[in-house]
Amino acid sequence: MVLAKELRAHGSDGCNRFNGSYALDKGLRFGQMASTMMACPQPDGMMAREFSFALAATVNYRIRGKQMELIDNDGRVRMRLEATFLK
């Protein structure tokens, strides 16, 4: 996932490409995401669905080293992402 400075997010959930908006006021929240609708084989289809649910539940984040944790309303880490350089 790429979080661009124009408050736009885009990337891949492991199967589908997605894009949408995000906001940094009072934490981190993702707006409605547009996505391709590929027929994803298991387990990629399940991971893509969980990825979408995690983005929708995100209200905050924490950065630790190269990892960014997406955190829900209950303070639970919903997803950990690791920074990599784009080619």
In the CATH scheme, what architecture does the domain 2-82 have? Beta Barrel (2.40)
| 22-55 pLDDT per residue, tens | 999 999 999 999 989 887 777 656 778 888 999 9
For residue 8, what are the contacts with CB-CB under 8 A and spacing of at least 6? 19, 20, 21, 22
Per-residue model confidence as pLDDT tens digits over 49-85: 888 999 999 999 999 999 999 999 999 999 999 998 7
Separation CA 2–CA 11 (nearest Å): 6
pTM: 0.84
In the block, residue with structure tokens 């984040």: 61
